[in-house]
Amino acid sequence: MDKTLVTTDFHFPKQTAVYHGKVRDVYTINDDIMVMIATDRISAFDVILPKGIPYKGQVLNQIAATFLDATADIVPNWKLATPDPMVTVGYKCEGFRVEMIIRGYLTGSAWREYAAGARELCGVKLPDGMKENQKFPEPIITPTTKADAGHDENISREEIIAQGIVSEEDYAQMEKYTRALFAKGTEMAAEKGLILVDTKYEFGKRDGKVILIDEIHTPDSSRYFYADGYQERFEKGEPQRQLSKEFVRQWLIEHGFMGKTGQQVPEMTEEFVDSVSERYIELYQHITGREFVKAPEEHLTERIERNVLDCLDQLQA
């Protein structure tokens, strides 16, 4: 029996829509409630890899739920319940077609552009003389437009407002929430000996209010460094020890895959898959400070369906 959940095909009562994303499958109930299932699929370079990762969905779902609950007093969010280790149920919102990326350090794609000579990113001016993994004087927001397919595109605040993608009033609220969430996430990470390096947030609108949607502060949407040894490694120009999905990207790059046309995904051996699973569990334990309790792997779909139906009955009672 397969011990990972890589596809779903549920038919819940009053189901009005279903969307299969790279990692999450979202079922809409009565055009008002969303059932978001974090599968065990894993993606990199906008490509879904051929094998699922045991417990990955549970890890992502439970980290996101932890941070949604921890920040609910700062920013209103969509979450109503987590009826299953792999499921969050919440309000349907009209999503903005923008991802709010906030960076505390110069790393990843921002560093690659900077190293190639760019001194402006999404309309934000960058100082000369910065080094890889250096902390910015203040966190910078570098939004992207959400693409239906392919890569998201960098865009500036001014372009977003000028093109009418988001109103100036709503964008200002999103910026305010983004900075508040990042500050809280940074504080919570520091308590665990971690540095929240960069992350992304998505927002929607419901009843005229801007609402935080989707996942937050997970290793799929965020990058963490270990605080211990950060300064020494930075000064020596050494790679940082990090908690993120970057290790999967690095493995793919080392095996000649970056999602480009004609490239083949390298074989994902059982050993590699198990090592990724172990890394995700390690991420969970470091980020939340809690022991990871593995949910039963057998009969995944039956368990999820039963738990979701019970939740929907209670919400509609």
DSSP 11-59: --TTEEEEEE-SSEEEEEETTTEEEEEE-S--EETTEE-SS--TTHHHH
Label residues 110-119 b or e (16+ Cβ within 10 Å = b): bbebbeeeee
Mean pLDDT of 199-227: 94
Beta carbons of 29 and 35 less than 8 angstroms apart: yes
Taken in order of first residue, the domains within the chain and their CATH numbers are 96-243 (3.30.470.20)
Using CA atoms, how far residue 29 sits from 74, 206, 210, 265, 303, in Å, is 27, 16, 21, 36, 19
pLDDT exceeds 80 at position 244: no
The C-alpha atoms of residue 74 and residue 267 are separated, in whole angstroms, by: 44
| Burial zone of 182 (CB within 10 Å; 0-12 exposed, 13-18 middle, 19+ buried) | buried
pLDDT exceeds 50 at position 1: no
According to the model, what pLDDT value does residue 297 have?
A: 82
According to the model, what pLDDT value does residue 2 have?
A: 65
Mean pLDDT of 142-167: 86
pLDDT exceeds 80 at position 150: no
Beta carbons of 52 and 289 less than 8 angstroms apart: no
**Strand 124-125 relative to strand 194-206: parallel, antiparallel, unpaired?**
unpaired
Taken in order 8, 283, 34, 303, the sign of the CA dihedral is positive
Confidence of residue 187 (pLDDT cuts 50, 70, 90): very high
Does residue 246 or residue 34 have the better pLDDT? 34
pLDDT one-digit tens code per residue, 130-147: 999 999 999 999 999 976
64-73, 111-120, 251-260: least confidently modelled range? 251-260
Mean pLDDT of the chain: 94
Cα 277 to chain centroid distance, Å, stands at 17
- Provide the whole-model pTM: 0.90
- Radius of gyration (C-alpha) of the chain in whole angstroms: 20
Per DSSP, helices labelled H in 80-214 are: 108-115, 157-162, 168-191
Q: What is the DSSP string of 175-187?
A: HHHHHHHHHHHHH
pLDDT exceeds 70 at position 10: yes
According to the model, what pLDDT value does residue 46 have?
A: 84
pLDDT exceeds 60 at position 149: no
pLDDT exceeds 90 at position 242: no
pLDDT exceeds 80 at position 288: yes
Beta carbons of 77 and 88 less than 8 angstroms apart: no
According to the model, what pLDDT value does residue 201 have?
A: 97
Q: Using alpha carbons, select from 206, 218, 235, 240 the residue that is nearest to residue 95.
A: 206
Token pair, residue 70, equals: 């921890």
pLDDT one-digit tens code per residue, 263-284: 999 999 999 999 999 989 988 9
**How does DSSP classify residue 217?**
S
The C-alpha atoms of residue 31 and residue 25 are separated, in whole angstroms, by: 16
pLDDT exceeds 60 at position 216: yes
According to the model, what pLDDT value does residue 146 have?
A: 76
CB hemisphere CA count around 102 (13 angstroms): 21
User: Over pLDDT 70: what percentage of the chain?
Assistant: 97
Label residues 130-146 b or e (16+ Cβ within 10 Å = b): bebbebbeebbbbbbbe
The C-alpha atoms of residue 165 and residue 97 are separated, in whole angstroms, by: 7
Q: How many CB atoms lie within 10 A of CB 69?
A: 12
35-39, 56-60, 298-302: least confidently modelled range? 298-302
Beta carbons of 55 and 280 less than 8 angstroms apart: yes
